[in-house]
Amino acid sequence: MKILANDGISNEGKLALENAGFIVITNKVDQADLATKINEENYEIVLVRSATTVRKEVVDQCPGLKLIGRGGVGMDNIDVAYAREKGIHVINTPGSSSQSVAELVMGQLFSISRFLNDSFKNMESGDFNTLKKNYAKGVELRGKTIGIIGFGRIGQSLASYALGIGMNVIGLEISEKEVEITLEQIPSSPKVTIKVESDWNKVLPQCDYLSLHIPKQANGEAVINEKEFAMMKKGVRIVNAARGGVINENALLTALDNGTVAYAALDVFENEPTPNKSLLSHPRIATTPHIGAATLEAQDRIGLELADQIAALFVPQS
């Protein structure tokens, strides 16, 4: 079987697939030519990340397609239900990038607490003493409360890091529950039970920091709008490494300008790959280009997990 890994795959994943008898092609195909190339080259499996979309139109044009794989968590770039209705397997790798995303968020939390992003931009051209004064009012993470909106694998991984540096953690989801978090980075791996709340009115006013780990909504609407910003503690700091569009970007800019939000860090944007320039140039927004899962270790895990799932579906078991 031929596989098109259109957004790339790790060498380990490619080798595992090839050892299982698959032919793996990693030459990038433009989105507009995707269906044509799948048919011309008789690809039966297409692997994507966030750059390539596989919508109904592609599914309809490619009757030989047997599997669509998403290297990562969210599958909003694939018409999953429709593909499955057509008998196509759709898989993803929900656990492989949890640690890498959580570590990026921790880096962003430090950055927006100590002005690292803005000071880096200004050190070469700015006056040293002026900058020293401008960035002298950083805050510490220890003892602060972080609300983690969406408490799945990534949210729980972030919780373990946040607890490890002494933050108070509150989970926020649709329904209440308790989740046991193992602090694997600490000797003896102690466990901490986190209460996951469902009442936004109760949680948002308590939080010094917020981090979002929820999928893009089916209706396309943002989860954080003017209403939610109005509930927040003044001076809250926000990180979004989930999906563009879960925060209303115009409402975020207003909240930054009126002081509701002290600082924000964004790894994802509504209009990727051409984000709103007002976000990129804002002095109190730290930005990265959708690199949450982009570590060498995560890419190896993603590739191997995809290979394992594909082999389990299509390689005869002895």
For the annotated catalytic residues, the residue numbers are: 243, 272, 290
**For 155, phi and psi rounded to 5 degrees?**
-60, -40
Burial label for 66, CB within 10 Å (0-12, 13-18, 19+), is middle
Distances (CA, A) of 124 to 118, 127, 133, 185, 239: 12, 9, 16, 36, 27
Torsion of CA 152, 304, 50, 151, to 10 degrees: 0
Amino acid residing at 94: P
The secondary structure element, H or E, covering residue 98 is: helix 98-114
Instruction: For tokens 């690809």, name the residue.
Output: 43
DSSP bridge partners of 240: 212, 266
